[in-house]
Amino acid sequence: MNSNKLPNYGKPLFSELRYCMRCCLPDTNENIDFDDFGICKACRASEQKMHINWEERQKILVKTLNFYKKKAGDYYDCMVPISGGKDSIFQLHVLKKIYNMNPLAVTFSHNWFTDVGKKNLETSIEKLDVDHIMFTPKRSLVNRVARESLKKIGDACWHCHTGVETFPYQVAVKWNIPLIVYGESLAEFSGKETYDEMRDLDPEHFLKYSARVRPEEMVCKTIKKKEMGAFIRPSLKEIKKVGIRRIFLGDYMFWDLEKQTELVINEYGWKEDKVDGTYKRYKSVECKMPGVHDYAKFAKRGFGRGTDFASQDLRAGLLTREEAFELGKLHDQKRPESLDYYLKISGYSEKEFLEILMKQRKGNAKKLPKIKKVGENLENKDD
């Protein structure tokens, strides 16, 4: 490609937004902040990561795991919420194979598993030889909630955002398992934290940052309160009684997605596949619907998963900023293949889908051009 013939090459998709001076994240990214140099928190965290004494962090992790192993006695040492994705398989690998923990794997199924995702989960659980519990909500409820979710939170995935937090909590309380271990740090890519702000996951994290509304707020003409049992988190009193703590492995060890993906492929036969909205073949490969989720983000905020991954690769030194912007423009705007399925189960038309999302734009996103058709090219031609 001869970039000299393309006047918009390497420029952001939307001139209406302010972008990080290092990566491609715009000011519409949730909870983003820019320092005095115009650099976002995710980029600052990436720089911090290079200077952390990871050997000291590992010592803290070993001390923590040994404490809970001793506390558990002959019972489960910890719990790992597992989707069958690369991160959760890697988490189980580290805990069992490296630190000799006896983890319980717990899955809240979104009921949108791909064939590859089902196989990855089954194969990895068998090879890791760990106990596993899975809860799957009924299909009709998932369909009804997916429709209501678009209006309430601006994507189709409320049941997953909520269930992946509440179901592990329910199991932890009932089975008296005080340690829950997650994967990548909040500082890794989200822009919500830096490594200096390392802290455990608070009980309402998913409610604040993804689920948005409580189960009782999802009840409507088509969703009964009686159906919401799986989405009710135990009380803070119950959580405190068990002493539940939720930590991220990525706060204690150097997190490298590419190497970790290679490990789970080689060790456990984990497989990649095509994923809507990005050039990566591993993130959310277990789910049919990430394309709808990520296009919804694009419609609301002006960027999607292509920009997310391109920014990550930019921070890792694999791309120039210009190349990263081009990848974002190429993938963020594409019509997701899964949209037809979502429109079928929700009953929305494509026009209704877009109108609902564009009404939820905030801040500078309100200045973005109107999307008339999913998949249309919105690049600023006049720049």
Q: What is the pLDDT of residues 319-365, one digit of tens each?
A: 999 999 999 999 999 999 999 999 999 999 999 999 999 999 999 99
Nearest residue to 89 (alpha-carbon basis) of 80, 76, 98, 78: 80
pLDDT score of 380: 56
* Higher per-residue pLDDT: 31 or 376: 376
User: Once rounded to an integer, what is the mean pLDDT over residues 105-117?
Assistant: 96
What pLDDT score does 6 carry? 66
Q: For position 1, what pLDDT does the model report?
A: 45
Q: What is the pLDDT of residue 74?
A: 83
Residue 221 reports pLDDT greater than 90 = yes
| pLDDT confidence of residue 28 | 96
Name which of 279, 270, 285 is nearest 90 in CA terms.
270
Q: pLDDT of 271-311, one tens digit each?
A: 999 999 889 888 889 999 999 999 999 999 999 999 999 99
What average pLDDT does the segment 192-220 reach?
86
Query: Residues 307, 161: contact at Cβ < 8 Å?
Result: no
Residue-level pLDDT at 201: 85
Closest alpha carbon to 163 in 224, 81, 285, 286: 81
75-79, 195-199, 242-246: least confidently modelled range: 195-199
Q: Is the pLDDT of residue 45 over 60?
A: yes
Whole-structure pTM over 0.75, yes or no?
Answer: yes
Q: How confident is the model at residue 194 (pLDDT cuts 50, 70, 90)?
A: confident
Is the pLDDT at 211 greater than 80? The verdict is yes
Per-residue pLDDT tens over the stretch 128-143: 999 999 999 999 999 9
Residue 96 has pLDDT above 60, yes or no: yes
Give the helix/strand (H/E) hosting 135. Answer: strand 131-135
Residue 223 banded pLDDT, cuts 50, 70, 90: very high
Phi, psi at 177, each rounded to 5°: -115, 105
pLDDT band at 206 (very low <50, low <70, confident <90, very high): confident
Can you give the length of the chain in residues?
A: 383
Does the pLDDT at position 197 exceed 80? Answer: no
Indicate the pLDDT class of residue 382, thresholds 50, 70 and 90: very low
Instruction: Give residue 358's pLDDT.
Output: 97
Q: Which contiguous run of DSSP H or E holds residue 131? A: strand 131-135
Average pLDDT for 228-236: 95
Q: Quick one: pLDDT at residue 97?
A: 96
| pLDDT recorded at residue 381 | 47
Sign of CA dihedral 292, 316, 322, 210: positive
Complete DSSP assignment for 261-314: HHHHHHHH-------TTSS-SSTTTTBS-HHHHHHHHHHHHS--HHHHHHHHHH
Give the pLDDT of residue 73.
80
- Torsion-angle region of 164 (φ positive above 0: left; ψ -120 to 50: alpha; else: beta): alpha
Report in angstroms the alpha-carbon separations of 103 from 22, 87, 119, 124, 239: 39, 15, 21, 14, 19
Residue 210 binned pLDDT confidence (cut-offs 50, 70, 90): confident
